[in-house]
């Protein structure tokens, strides 16, 4: 008789215990700390899981926007895109960081990485050189603002290569005009190289073609044909 009454009581106590336990579990969930999220994001990055790293870095910036680690997380997002060779996406993040944190200690690094985003998208000399020009501008800005930074020293080499690529583009176009006997347009290009891109390895070739082009112009003027039509 007593045992039959005991079973419902035990069931009731069990249900109460489970309800209390579940409630405590829900209330006892501890929100991950900024340090914990950043550590997880960094682990994912170090293991080459860049997409997952971006998710955790983003989680940190969303949940703890005022944390100092949230600033580092923005760099982490940029670096993760960069490591995935998603250079336009990385450039967007670095640009945002530079705009929002103009006095941050990581600013030279962000500027250098932004320059590399453009540098890594360089095209052949017969193609558009917009990215080359952007890389040049970014590296020059870094070197001017932070001349003693180690990233400025690293940028020097990339700046030289960017200038060389732009000079080669000008030379390529200059030769095209030279072959077409549009000597004024050719001389404009060769003179631009001497003015804007000296000491990048093209000086001797430029001097030779500049001399030849000027001779052709002088001959044409002597014969009374007048100077050839110029072009930019």
Q: Give residue-wise pLDDT tens across range 71-97.
A: 999 999 999 999 999 999 999 999 999
How many Å is the Cα radius of gyration of the chain?
A: 32
The count of residues in the chain is 232
pLDDT(210) > 60:
yes
pLDDT confidence bin for 222, thresholds 50/70/90:
confident
Give the separation between CA 144 and CA 156, rounded to whole angstroms.
11
| Of the candidate ranges 11-15, 108-112, 194-198, the one whose mean pLDDT is the lowest | 11-15
- What is the pTM for the complete model shown? 0.81
Give the separation between CA 99 and CA 163, rounded to whole angstroms.
26
Percent of the chain exceeding pLDDT 70 equals 83
3-state SS of the chain: helix, strand, coil percent to 5?
A: 75, 0, 25
pLDDT(70) > 80:
yes
Average confidence (pLDDT) over 156-183: 97
With beta carbons less than 8 A apart as the criterion, state whether 213 and 185 touch. Answer: no
pLDDT for the residue 220: 85
pLDDT(63) > 90:
yes
């Amino acid at each position: 008789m007593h045992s039959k009454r005991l079973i419902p009581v035990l069931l009731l106590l069990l249900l109460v215990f489970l309800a209390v336990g579940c409630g405590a579990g829900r209330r006892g969930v501890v929100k991950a700390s900024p340090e914990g999220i950043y550590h997880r994001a960094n682990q994912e990055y170090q293991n080459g899981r860049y997409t997952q790293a971006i998710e955790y870095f983003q989680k940190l910036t969303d949940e703890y926007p005022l944390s100092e680690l949230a600033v580092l997380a923005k760099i982490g997002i940029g670096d993760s895109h960069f490591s995935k060779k998603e250079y336009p996406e990385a450039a967007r993040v670095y640009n945002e960081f530079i705009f929002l944190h103009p006095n941050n200690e990581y600013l030279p690094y962000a500027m250098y990485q932004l320059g590399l985003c453009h540098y890594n998208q360089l095209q052949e000399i017969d193609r558009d050189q917009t990215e080359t020009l952007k890389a040049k501008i970014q590296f020059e800005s870094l070197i001017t603002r932070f001349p003693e930074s180690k990233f400025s020293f690293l940028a020097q080499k990339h700046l030289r290569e960017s200038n060389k690529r732009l000079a080669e583009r000008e030379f390529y176009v200059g030769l095209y005009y030279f072959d077409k006997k549009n000597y004024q347009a050719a001389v404009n290009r060769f003179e631009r190289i001497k003015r804007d891109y000296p000491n990048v390895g093209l000086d001797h070739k430029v001097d030779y073609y500049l001399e030849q082009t000027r001779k052709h112009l002088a001959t044409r003027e002597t014969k009374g044909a007048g100077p050839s039509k110029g072009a930019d």
